[in-house]
């Protein structure tokens, strides 16, 4: 297994209150002093790059709520070994930020939007900000943060009626619309009974638009399977982390906003990199820890069940 992808949660703060991620709103945040500083993130990425990391994704919470995120983007894009620098955002602040992010070296964005209808968008996110998110999509396309990927989680009884409208975005826009299976991570998020398998979502799309044609995945496809609709500008993708297993091909590590590296989303085990950084550890010692992390990643076996509750806003998906 090649481990070459690092996802970095730069903050656990968010400007939305999504029911499957951040239903508690402004409570339960990590103290600001415990969040990794930009220079600490840069140092870790430089050292991870020395051990083969080639792709980096900035996530949150919502990464665009962190001050001067374009500055961090520029520092990371200057690391020669990093070949792909991306961001996952809800898009609300993206219209203003996109030009600066592109100029700083960001390659592409994923935008999380679970509805293109105002009322259900507000029901899911807690706020009436759909117009701002749509403007963010348009600006990302305009400045060339491509491929633009739209991430959607469909919940039974909440936004099932958005499957067709969301898929329709791929017919008229040059975007990849990806349906991600819901998996509850703690007692405060929506219950697991609201999970809808991607097999059902695909059938719904094909009943409306006709058969989906398989696409050869690009270098950034990850666990998604991509398909093309007839006479469409974009593509449809499915990430089926609950109904299927792709451990053998998983190439990613996760750095939480408070400085812990998790070799696997489904495991409670993590490595406290912040403690190393702030205790004065030299590069050699940190690289030794990175070697252990990558070694564990290569030998991890998924059980498809969590060993602890956690908040997605701190891990970043």
**Average pLDDT, rounded, for the chain:** 89
pLDDT for the residue numbered 249: 76
Backbone angles phi, psi at 217, to 5 degrees: -65, 145
Query: Cis bond leading into 61, ω under 30°?
Result: yes
Residue in 149, 59, 131 with CA at minimum distance from that of residue 95 = 131
Q: What is the average per-residue pLDDT within 6-23? A: 90
pLDDT for the residue numbered 306: 46
Q: CA of 192: how far to CAs of 38, 155, 219, in Å? A: 36, 9, 32
pLDDT digits (tens, 9 = 90+) for 47-81: 999 999 999 999 999 999 999 999 999 999 999 99
Assign 248 a pLDDT band (cuts: 50, 70, 90). confident
According to CATH, the superfamily of the domain at 5-315 is: Aldolase class I (3.20.20.70)
As a whole number of angstroms, the distance between CA 96 and CA 70 comes to 12
pLDDT digits (tens, 9 = 90+) for 290-302: 999 999 888 765 5
pLDDT for the residue numbered 70: 98
pLDDT for the residue numbered 304: 46
Q: CA of 134: how far to CAs of 131, 203, 233, 274, 292, in Å? A: 5, 26, 17, 36, 42
Q: Quick check: 305 pLDDT over 50?
A: no
Which residue, chain included where needed, has tokens 């259900």? 120
pLDDT for the residue numbered 247: 73
Q: What is the average per-residue pLDDT within 162-174? A: 95
pLDDT digits (tens, 9 = 90+) for 75-104: 999 999 999 999 999 999 999 999 999 999
Question: How much is the pTM?
Answer: 0.91
Backbone angles phi, psi at 301, to 5 degrees: -115, 125
Q: Quick check: 141 pLDDT over 80?
A: yes
- Give the H or E element holding residue 121: helix 118-125
Assign 312 a pLDDT band (cuts: 50, 70, 90). low
* Burial of 141 (C-beta count, 10 Å sphere; 0-12/13-18/19+): middle
pLDDT for the residue numbered 299: 79
Least confident of 27-31, 112-116, 178-182, 188-192: 188-192
Q: What are the strands of the beta sheet with 108-112, ordered from one edge?
A: 213-214, 225-228, 235-239, 175-180, 148-152, 108-112, 84-89, 55-59, 5-9, 252-255, 260-262, 271-272
Assign 276 a pLDDT band (cuts: 50, 70, 90). very high
């Amino acid at each position: 297994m090649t481990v070459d992808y690092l996802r970095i949660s730069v903050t656990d703060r968010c400007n939305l209150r999504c029911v499957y991620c951040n239903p508690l709103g402004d409570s339960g945040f990590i103290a600001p002093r415990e969040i990794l500083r930009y220079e600490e993130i840069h140092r870790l990425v430089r050292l991870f790059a020395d051990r083969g990391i080639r792709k980096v994704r900035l996530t949150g919470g919502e990464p665009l709520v962190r001050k001067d995120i374009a500055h961090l983007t520029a520092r990371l894009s200057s690391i020669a070994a990093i070949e792909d620098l991306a961001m996952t955002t809800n898009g609300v602040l993206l219209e203003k930020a996109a030009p600066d992010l592109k100029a700083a070296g960001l390659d592409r964005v994923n935008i999380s939007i679970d509805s293109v209808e105002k009322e259900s968008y507000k029901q899911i996110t807690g706020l009436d900000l759909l117009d701002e998110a749509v403007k963010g999509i348009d600006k990302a396309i305009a400045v060339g943060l491509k491929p633009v990927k739209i991430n959607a989680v469909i919940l039974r009884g909440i936004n099932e009626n958005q499957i067709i409208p969301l898929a329709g975005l791929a017919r008229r826009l040059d975007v990849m619309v990806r349906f991600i299976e819901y998996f509850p991570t703690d007692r405060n998020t929506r219950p697991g009974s609201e999970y809808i398998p991607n097999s059902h979502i695909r059938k719904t799309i094909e009943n409306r638009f006709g058969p989906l044609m398989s696409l050869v995945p690009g270098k950034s496809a990850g666990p998604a399977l991509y398909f093309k609709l007839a006479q469409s500008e974009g593509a449809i993708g499915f990430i089926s982390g609950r109904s299927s297993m792709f451990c053998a091909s998983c190439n990613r590590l996760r750095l939480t906003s408070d400085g812990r590296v998790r070799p696997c989303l489904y495991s409670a085990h993590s490595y406290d990199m912040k403690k190393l950084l702030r205790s004065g550890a030299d590069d050699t010692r940190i690289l030794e820890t990175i070697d252990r992390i990558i070694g564990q990643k290569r030998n991890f076996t998924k059980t498809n069940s969590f060993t602890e509750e956690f908040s997605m806003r701190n891990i970043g998906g």
